[in-house]
């Protein structure tokens, strides 16, 4: 594995956990309104917003768009790995 693979994986893991923490913070509105919550919102919401527009909440309550967004992010990372491997031949 090249150094680029490691950087891509590191960025993926960091952003994955940022999304996960942001979603879990939605259960505690006071935490989401804190400095950390607003900071994470500025970094994560632009990525989640298109998925929320496409996927309505189930029953008007359960939002599965972050799950789909994380799966899409994983596919992008796998695609980046494939492109990096192609050019490293």
Number of domains comprising the chain:
1
pTM: 0.89
- Residues spanned by the domain of 39: 3-87
Report pLDDT for 60: 78
Report pLDDT for 58: 87
Report pLDDT for 1: 61
Average of pLDDT values for 29-36? 88
Report pLDDT for 2: 78
pLDDT band at residue 39 under the 50/70/90 scheme = very high
Buried b (16+ CB within 10 A) or exposed e, 22-60: bbebeeeeeebeeeebeebeeebeebbeebbeeeeeeee
């Amino acid at each position: 594995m090249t150094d680029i693979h490691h950087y891509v994986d590191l960025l993926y893991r960091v952003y994955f956990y940022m999304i996960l923490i942001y979603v879990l913070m939605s259960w505690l509105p006071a935490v989401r309104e804190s400095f950390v919550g607003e900071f994470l919102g500025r970094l994560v919401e632009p990525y989640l917003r298109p998925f929320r527009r496409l996927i309505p909440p189930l029953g008007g309550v359960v939002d599965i768009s972050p799950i789909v967004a994380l799966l899409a992010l994983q596919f992008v990372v796998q695609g980046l790995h494939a492109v990096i491997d192609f050019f490293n031949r």
